[in-house]
Every structure is written in C-alpha cells, then in structure tokens.
Amino acid sequence: MLSPGTSFPEVDLFDLQDKLIHLVCFFIQAYLWCGIGVEKSNKGRLNKRVWINFLLFGILIGAVFETAQYYIPFRSFDWMDMTVNMIGGILGLLGYLKWPTIKFILD
C-alpha cells in the first residue's frame, strides 16, 4: 500500500476491485492482530488488549497508510479507501470475537 503507483500492473477484473482488496487486507490484518498478547483465558469482548490492538491495527494503521499515500509518487489519498480500510478492520474484530485466531486452536 505504500509502494509507488507505477510499480503495480494494471489489472481490472471488475468494478470496485481496489475496494475489495482494501477490505480483505484490513480484515485479515485486524483479525490476526486483535489476539496478539491476549491470553487464552482472557479472550473475551471485554478484554482491554483486544480493543487496543483493534484500534492500533484495525483503525489507526488504515488511516495512516491512506494518509501516507498522499506523499508517495503516483499514489493519492482517497476517503473511500480509508473508509473501506476501517470497515475491513471492524469486520476483522468481529471475526476475531466470533472465531478466535488459530493460535488458540493450537494451544
């Protein structure tokens, strides 16, 4: 997301392809990061660490990445991309709360 825009090939398979990629990337990122540092016995909705991880890796990073694109050649800031990043982060949190990450399954 922080590479210069000219380093990507043009692939346009369907409308809103870019938004789907943003959504999936931030869903996966938030889903995996929400459980970092959370003990198996404390993996609930009210766990403070889950919410801190979500705010950092589900919301803040999406805003920072999108804002940083303003300063990268051939890239641009887009409010819709930032919104989709945050929606992906929220979905990642909800996914984590419903199905905890593989770490707990392997314990």
Q: Are 27 and 95 in contact (CB under 8 A)?
A: yes
- In order along its 107 residues, the chain shows pLDDT tens digits of 666 655 555 666 666 788 898 999 999 999 988 878 777 666 556 678 888 888 998 899 989 988 988 888 888 888 999 999 999 999 999 998 888 765 554 44
Of 98, 103, 106, whose CA–CA distance to 33 is shortest?
103
Please report where in the chains the tokens 């995996």 appear, as a residue: 32
The H-assigned helical ranges of the chain are 17-33, 48-54, 61-68, 79-98, 102-106
The confidence score (pLDDT) of residue 107 equals 47
The confidence score (pLDDT) of residue 82 equals 92
The confidence score (pLDDT) of residue 98 equals 85
Domain residue ranges of the chain, discontinuous segments joined by + = 31-106
Rounded Cα distance, 71 and 23, in Å:
22
Q: List CB contacts of 1: < 8 A, sequence separation 6 or more.
A: 25, 65, 66, 69
The confidence score (pLDDT) of residue 1 equals 61
Q: Is this model's pTM higher than 0.85 or not? A: no
